[in-house]
Structures are given as C-alpha cells and as structure tokens.
Amino acid sequence: MNLFNRYSCFLVLLCLSSASSGQLINRKQLVQRHTVINTSFDSLSSLTVGNGQFAFTVDATGLQSFPGWYARGVPLGTQSEWGWHSFTNTNNYAFSETLKYYKLNGSDVSYSVQLKEPERNKDAVNWFRQNPHRLQLGNIGFEIVKKDGSPADIKDIQNIRQSLDMWTGEIHSRFTVGNDPVDVITYCHQQQDVIAVKISSPLLVSGKIGIRIRLPYPNGDWKDVGDNWKNEDKHESSLIQQFPQSADIVHRLDSTTYSIDLSWKGNAAIKKKRDHYFVLTPSGKNQFEFSCRFDRKIDMTVIPTYSQTKANNEQQWKKFWVSGAAVDFSGSIDKRAKELERRIILSQYLTKIQCAGNYPPQETGLTYNSWYGKPHLEMHWWHAIHFALWGRTELLEKSLAWYQKVYDKAKNIAKRQGYEGARWQKMTDNEGEESPSSVGAFLIWQQPHLIYFAELSYRTHKNEETLKKYKDLVFATADFMASYAYYDSAKGRYILGKGVIPAQERFKAEETFNPTYELVYWHWALNIAQQWRERLHLTRNKKWDAVLAKLSPLPKQNDKYLFTESAGDSYTNPEFKTDHPSVFGAFGMMPKTPMVDTTIMKNTFAWIWNNWSWKDTWGWDFPMTAMTATRLGMPGKAIDALLLPIQTNTYLNNGHNYQDERLTIYLPGNGGLLAAVAIMCAGYEGNKAPNPGIPKDGKWKVRWEGLRKMF
C-alpha cells in the first residue's frame, strides 16, 4: 500500500470516529452531485480553476474569449499572489504625507487617512491607496473563424454544455459554431501557475481556431477586471520563440516584468498580431493540447503537459476531498437542505482555489481587483479559520508565515503611534505596507486574529514547536492590545478608544469607545496569550493581567447590549440598524467568556433579528448570526440565518457569494458559511449536545465527518 493510500485510510478511520452517524459519507458522490452546469452564456456563472496561489476564470467556451461580456458579472481574471505592480512615483510622494494627528486620550496619535487637503497630501493618499495593485496577468481566449471567413461572435456560439467537476478540477466545455462541434477541457496545475487545455474540433484541421493571448494594462481603479486595452504605449510585450513547439511572451510594465511561457503538442504557429496581442494557431489535426505558465521571469524548465496536469489534478483534488471534513444533508425533507449542501461544497472548492495561498487573500480572491487588489486583515478570519475547523489547518498555516514577514512593519506602526508591540495592518499588500483609509486605519478587530490563528494551529499541533514558532507574534500582538487599552483613572477601568471604528462601521472614530465585540475579543485574546506564556513555563505578564482585571464591562441598556458604550442611541438611531450586527461577534465568533450574559445576548439577538435592516448587510453577517444562534440554543434561527433570502446572501450558480454589481463575488461569505456549518454540526468547546445548530424537528438529517469544535 503506497503512502497516499495509507494516509487516506487513516483519514477515513479518523473521520469515522467523529462522524454523527456510523455510516461513512461517499465523498465523491457528495461532491459530484453538485457539479456546476452552464447551458448558456451567463456573466454571473463564469467558472474558475486554480490552486490557491493562482486562478484562471473562463467563460462558456472554456477560455476567456469574451471578457467584455463578463466584465459586469464575474470577470474573466488571471491572477497570482505574486503578480503586483506600481505606477512610477514621479512626484516622490512620501507615506508621511498621508498622516494626520488626532488628540486621543491626551496623546497625539498619527493615522494614515484619506485627506482632502492640501492638494499634494490628497494626491499622496490616492497614490498609496492605488499602489501597489494586483495585476491581471493576461487574457487567453479563442478566435474562431466561421465558414464565411468572418470572426465568430458570442451569438455564434451555440449548444453550450459546460461543467465543472470539482472532484477532478476539470472544466469541460462543449459548444458548436455553425455545424461544427468544439470540445474544450481546462485544468490548472495544483503546484504551478499553469493552465493546460485540450481542444477537439474539426475546425482545428483548417486552422479556423486560434488561441488569443492579450495583455491588459492596469487601470489603476478600485476595481480592475482585466479589460483595459488602452495605454498601449505604457507597457511593452515581446515574443521569443526558440523551439518549434514553445514560445515565451515577456511583459514589461514600469519596474514589473513577468513572462507567459507556452508549450503545445501538434502543429501550430504563433504570431504577434499587434501590440500586446498574440495568436497561436493550430492546424493539421482535430485535436490540440497546450499549456501556459505565468512566471515572474522566463523559466527554462519544462512546462507540465496537458496529460501531466490532468493527472496532477485528479490526484490532488481527490486528496483534498478525502482529507478534512465532509457534511452530507441527504435524506433531509426541508427543501433548503439541498441548497445549503450545494453552498458548502462550492464554498470548499472556491476557498481552496482562491484563498489557500501564502498571503492573506483579497475579498475577491484571485478573480478581479477590489480595493486595488489588497487584502483586508480583519477579513482574514472569515477567509481562513474554516480551514482549521474542517481539518485542513495546513491551509491556514500557509498564510500565517506572512505575519512573520511583515512583523517589523507592524511594530513600526505601533511605535509611531506610541504603543508597544505590533499593530497589525488593515488594508495592506504582500509587503505589509499600510494603505490610507479613513475607516480602516481605526479598525482594531484584526488585531487579535493572529492570536486566534495561532491557537487554532496549537490545538492541531499541541507541541512546543508550535508555541515557539508563533510566540513572538502572539506576545507582540498582546503587548499592543494591552498598551492600546486606556486606563481611565476616574472610572477605575480600561477602555478601548476613543479613536476606534468598530466592526460595525457606522460610528465616528473620534467619538467612539468600548465596542461590545471588540471588548470581548480583547479579553479572550489576552487570556489566550497568558496561556501561551504558561505553556512555555513563563510568568504571566503583569500588564496583560492588569487590563484583564479592569477591562470595561460590556455596555448595556435595559436588557440589551449596546453596540458601543458611546452609542446610547444604539436602538433608536436608524443608521445603527445597518452594516454588520457585530455585537453578535461577542458570542458567536467568540466563545463564552465571563463578560457575556447569555440572557442579555438573547434579548439583543431577538431585537436585531426583528429590527435589523438586513438588506444593508454583508455576506459574512449571516454566518455570524448563525454562530450566535447556535451558541444561544436556537438551531432554527441558525438555519434561517444561513438561508435568509437577502441579496447579499445570494450564492450564484458557480457558488460565489454575490453582494452587488461592485462585488459580484465575496469570499468572506463563503468562508464564513463553512465556519458556521462547522459550529452548527460539531459544536463548540463545552457543548455536549449533537449538532447544536441543526433543528431537531424531523426535517433535517445530517451526517458529518472530520469537523472540529470551535472555541
């Protein structure tokens, strides 16, 4: 028995021991019953292949043939985690020009914000928000010539039948042009930034099908879908062909250079049609295979062939699906069960290909730019904790290495502001630079995430090696948290703020203090940091203990928790019934702590459930609500929350969580869904009842394997 098969058997036994029923789940059948099918061009149902570090999104042809048609839907992007670019800083803007000082608790504290004046500072802010930005690396699509010699348009593509088999990572696209069939199979290599494609069609024999490679220029906007064909004079591209069945295209933009390396099987010719526009034209046979690798430089190593990439996918995707957890709702009579199961399977696939890289992902993953392609660290929790809860902690740990890489920059932020330890960035990039933001600069709920992540890792690997690996980051994170808490000597307690914007981004930073969720997170994380010291046989940190002993209690009004202590009008101001109901995070995302009274939280839940403007929420708010409902013993509400018929809780045919025309995909919603399902099935520490978030009304039947309890 080979190593992989032995590993698979071990996982099966492990899953069996934790399943809610003795019958093993047929994982292949579970995954494949949610194979995605397209039978027409649907701009919101483009499909993606990827590996967590690179992704390639295609239309109904199996390539990126009609990018303009998909631009307002789910765009046809090609992105990698290494593909970044900055426009030249011709005006020599300095980051210090984005800083503004605020008088907070008697101290002058600098924040990088969106200044409106003077003009130079405003321009500096815009430059640092815009740069660096993630690149759309290239568009690879078909050019098909009809029998009359004219180019085929989207209306000429008929009889579409396209499928995404998530068990094998294969997109299979079939269509006709006139009476001629075209069959396309698309893969992405699971260890390299390579796509591999097999095309079968009689049109190949006569050279009527070409593979077009176009190189867009970054538009510099908040959103970049890779369809900017202007500015041809601002970048350079060249074709290098040394061997008959391969070629390299080199793309240069300012100080950024990368290559697109091609290899193929069969007869074909490649030509530069015009600037940044190349066409590979096969001929002679009715089948053609090619591979395309994106790299930071020309790589002379052999590019994996189509056959090799196919085999790689079949092996790696099977390994992914048989490892970790599975949840099966077959046999349920509640009509919503099938939809929930579909969302679960597709969310596992999408987060694996979009969010499982070496860096915190952006909210639109590796498909298109939002916020210039930059990740938001407060969202990293929603992108990543589910990996650990679903038994795939190694996928979470990949991105934790980034925190070590940017550690010094986080320490410099804290030092600049007069605090100890490390203050983690909010809107950032691969190098850990800050981006100016009048909201993001004042958020603090990303700060304890590092401790949460490290604790997840430790509970997977309870050894000294894990403690030593993350201890410096954990301790520096806690040092900042303790020094950020301000001691109000008149009241004899520590407060968070002023100068804070809560997760519910509806409050003014200079007026706000003691948001409920952040208070609980501070208390929980400082306690965990002390446990790390004890595990390492170190004495408890006196400063952390002082904050823990006198941290402000949760603000409440009558029988409900206020959203922040500074917002006595939490329940009367209409503006505060929108955005994230983040008070739920205090007992949902967070476990039970001495700070929370469950009776008061139940009252708070009931009011929010009945009065919140749910249409003005975001995709992760529904999983958060489900987590709180689960902990409060309301499984019916947990299911209702996950499936509320609200636009921002829409899951498209391809599985993406749709928000609006600006954010047609929103991966924190997918990750949040998986985290919520984990707590609903496996429960949480201290919970003994089976499936605490699943209704016991006889309409739901659930089997699960390999899930881990939430804290």
Residues 325 and 217: their CA atoms lie apart, in Å, by 41
pLDDT at 12 over 90: no
pLDDT for 22 equals 55
DSSP letter for 690, please.
S
What digits encode the pLDDT tens for the residues 387-396? 999 999 999 9
CATH 2.70.98.50 domain residues, the chain? 44-85+135-321
Q: What is the mean pLDDT of residues 425-439?
A: 97
Cα 704 from Cα 328, distance rounded (Å): 6
Over residues 204-229, the pLDDT tens digits come to 999 999 999 999 999 999 999 999 99
Res 421 pLDDT > 60: yes
* Residue 9 reports pLDDT greater than 60: no
Determine the Cα–Cα distance for residues 550 and 544; give it in Å rounded to an integer: 10
Please give the Cα distance from 74 to 654 (Å, whole number). 10
Mean pLDDT in the chain? 95
- Distance separating alpha carbons of residues 390 and 193, to the nearest angstrom: 26
Tokens 């004219």 correspond to 150
At residue 52 the predicted structure's pLDDT band, cuts being 50, 70 and 90, is: very high
Residue 4 predicted with pLDDT over 70: no
Greatest alpha-carbon pair distance for the chain in Å reads: 86
Mean pLDDT of the 304-333 span: 98
Token pair in block for residue 221: 């906007």
Per-residue pLDDT tens over the stretch 236-282: 999 999 899 999 999 999 999 999 999 999 999 999 999 999 999 99
* Burial class, 549, CB count within 10 angstroms (exposed 0-12 / middle 13-18 / buried 19+): exposed
Tell me the per-residue pLDDT of 617-670, one tens digit each, with 9 for 90 and over. Answer: 999 999 999 999 999 999 999 999 999 999 999 999 999 999 999 999 999 999
In order of 198, 315, 346, 423, the CA distances from 167 in angstroms are 19, 10, 11, 41
Q: Measured between alpha carbons, how far is 223 from 370 in angstroms, rounded to an integer? A: 5
Report the distance separating Cα 123 and Cα 98, nearest Å: 9
Residue 327, both tokens: 């949840």
pLDDT at 10: 40
Q: Which fold has domain 44-85+135-321?
A: Beta-galactosidase; Chain A, domain 5 (2.70.98)
Produce one character per residue of 326-362: b if its CB has 16 or more CB atoms within 10 Å, e if not. Answer: bbbbeebebeebeebbbbbbbbbbbbbbbbbbebbbb
**pLDDT tens across 665-707, in order?**
999 999 999 999 999 999 999 999 999 999 999 999 999 999 9
Cα–Cα distances in angstroms (integers) from residue 366 to residues 75, 106, 197, 283, 644, in the given order? 11, 43, 20, 33, 27
CA 595 from centre of chain: 31
DSSP state string for 221-239:
SS-B-S-----GGG-EEEE
Long-range contacts of 285-288 (CB under 8 A, 24+ apart): 285/204, 285/205, 286/200, 286/201, 286/202, 286/204, 286/205, 287/198, 287/199, 287/200, 287/204, 288/198, 288/199, 288/200, 288/204, 288/209, 288/264
Give the list of residues 6+ apart from residue 17 with CB closer than 8 angstroms, or none. Answer: none
> What's the CA gap between 423 and 413, in Å, rounded?
6
Annotate 349-406 with DSSP letters as a single string: HHHHHHH-SSSPPPTTTTTSBSGGG--BGGGHHHHHHHHHHTT-HHHHHHHHHHHHHT
133 vs 116: CA distance, rounded Å:
22
Question: For residue range 280-293, what is the model confidence (pLDDT) as tens digits?
Answer: 999 989 999 999 99
How far is the CA of 362 from the CAs of 86, 137, 307, 511, 544, in angstroms?
A: 17, 16, 32, 30, 32
* 47 to 63, 179, 248, 378, 668: CA distances (angstroms): 10, 25, 26, 27, 18
Kindly give, in sequence order, each residue whose CB lies less than 8 Å from that of residue 138, ignoring residues fewer than 6 positions away: 78, 213, 214, 215, 216, 251, 260, 294
Q: Which two tokens stand for residue 459?
A: 């509970």
Joined together, the tokens standing for residue 561 give: 């928790």
The tens digit of pLDDT for each residue in 434-483 reads 999 999 999 999 999 999 999 999 999 999 999 999 999 999 999 999 99
Percentage of the chain exceeding pLDDT 90: 95
| 135-161 pLDDT, tens digit each | 999 999 999 999 999 999 999 999 999
How confident is the model at residue 19, as a pLDDT? 46
Can you tell me the mean pLDDT for 190-207?
A: 97
Q: 523: helix, coil or strand?
A: helix
Separation between Cα atoms, residue 656 and residue 644, nearest integer Å? 16
- Do the beta carbons of residue 135 and residue 85 sit within 8 Å? yes
Q: Which two tokens stand for residue 288?
A: 């053609």
- Tokens 């390999």 label which residue? 706
Which H or E run includes 133? strand 133-134
